[in-house]
Amino acid sequence: MRGISAGGTLARYFSARFLVAMVAMFLICCVLIFFVDFIEMLRRSGKYSGDVSGILLAWITLLRLPSFSELTLPFAVLIGTIAIFLMLSRSSELVVLRAAGISVWQFTLPAMAVAFLLGVLFVLLYNPVAATARSEAERIYAAAFGKGDSFLQTNKRSGAWLREDGADGPSVVHALQVLNQGLELNGVSVFQYDAKHELTERIEAKRAVLKHGRWELQEVWVSSVGQEPAFYKTYLLSTYLTPTQVKDSLGTVFSISFWELPNFIQIAERAGLPATQYRVQYHLLLSRPFLLVTMVLIAATCSLKGFRFGNVQINAIFGLAAGFGFFVFSEISRNFAMSGLTSAAAAHGSR
């Protein structure tokens, strides 16, 4: 009973130490990211006309911070774990534990458990908050700088293209300008097809507004096959997209929460949009707890080796380099998945 009690006390002690170190390193990364991003926001604001206050820029930066800080979590776990192992080694606590017959796994497993639970909490709770804040930040940014980005947009010269399968049949939509985060289109051309994928009509509209289940076209010329062109003040075109889904996308996967990604992938596929980046993001989030555990193992391998054979600081540096190399490899595998060279599950399974 005493052995079990001592083991539980030891596990709680190490778990608390590792948790504090990981969270502290994460907060330090957040502070650094905030100042770097705020400087970048100041630089961008100089490119646009108009008076944007520093308080508004700081607020946008603060809203963007959670999504950016998610990327630093593996490094926070890695550095925090290495720091704790170095502190325990310097204070001779590891020497005492080893002399008492405590195995390496008994003070490594608490770090792995903390990292795994931290990853789960970040995916299930922190990520939705970060996605909501990122979406709001991009909305404020678009309003402040007049920047109407959305996932519909491709480039300034060719405008935006969208292919989808609506209730009226497949259609291809082209817009010269995207406004209000994808809810409004200017200079719209629509090529409508029937179930056999044969062109049935061409629609030219001055403006289109997205409503639930339909595009409302204004000042429209409709040229149907075998008929004279007809003018309509208002014309409705069915769509599977909704304003909420368009607002949530904003051209970046970081503004879509973990819980919304499966539904958004399905909607994107039904609308004929590429869903690869959303699948990759979804599997990235699923693999995050295991990535954090891997970072703990990398830290333990290097730090505890230094404890046993000397050269602790040098091995800690090797640990940081190994963690950075693993992160680079993960990014390469993610880019392979984004380009379609491998599946999203395989890319993040390689982590």
Whether residues 15 and 134 fall in one domain: yes
Best-predicted range by mean pLDDT (23-37, 100-114, 168-182, 237-251)? 23-37
In a domain, 267, yes or no: no
Q: How far apart are alpha carbons 246 and 116 in whole angstroms?
A: 33
> Angle 159-150-121 (CA atoms, 0-180°, nearest 5)?
155
**Residue 125 pLDDT exceeds 80:** yes
One domain, residues 30 and 103: yes
118 Cβ contact partners less than 8 Å away, ≥ 6 residues apart: 19, 22, 73, 77, 289, 292
Domain containing residue 320? 2-147+277-349
The CA-CA-CA angle for residues 311, 313, 314, to 5°, reads 65
Question: Tokens 């909490």 map to which residue?
Answer: 121
Residues 15, 108 share a domain? yes
What's the burial of 70, exposed, middle or buried (CB within 10 Å: 0-12/13-18/19+)? Answer: buried
**257 belongs to a structural domain:** no
Residue 204 and residue 340 in one domain: no
**Could you tell me if 201 and 318 lie in one domain?**
no
Quick check: is 262 in a domain? no
pLDDT of residue 209: 86
Number of domains forming the structure of the chain: 2
Q: How confident is the model at residue 1 (pLDDT cuts 50, 70, 90)?
A: very low
H-type helices in the chain, by residue range?
Answer: 2-45, 54-70, 73-90, 93-99, 104-121, 127-145, 243-249, 261-270, 276-309, 312-338, 344-349
How many angstroms separate the Cα of 190 from the Cα of each of 150, 168, 218, 329, 333?
19, 12, 13, 43, 37
In a domain, residue 202? The reply is yes
State whether 15 and 139 are in the same domain: yes
Residues 65 and 84 in one domain: yes
Of 249, 266, 288, the position where a domain reaches its end is 249
Residue 228 counted as domain residue: yes
What pLDDT band is residue 157 in, cutting at 50, 70 and 90? very low
120 and 182 together in one domain: no
pLDDT at residue 116, as a whole number:
95
The predicted model gives 215-244 an average pLDDT of 82
Within this chain, do residues 224 and 239 fall inside the same structural domain, yes or no?
yes
Q: What is the pLDDT of residue 31?
A: 94
What is the DSSP-derived secondary structure letter of residue 218? E
| Buried-exposed string 29-55: b where 16+ CB fall within 10 A, e elsewhere | beeebbeebbeebeeebeeeeeebeee
- The answer on 135 and 200 residing in a single domain is no
Q: Which residues, 6+ apart, have CB-to-CB distance to 158 below 8 Å?
A: none
CA distances (Å), 145 to each of 103, 136, 141, 346, in order?
Answer: 58, 14, 6, 40
Residue 200 has pLDDT above 90, yes or no: no
Q: Are residues 143 and 283 in the same domain?
A: yes
Interstrand relation of 153-155 and 214-224 (parallel, antiparallel or unpaired): unpaired
Q: Would you say residue 341 has pLDDT above 90? A: no
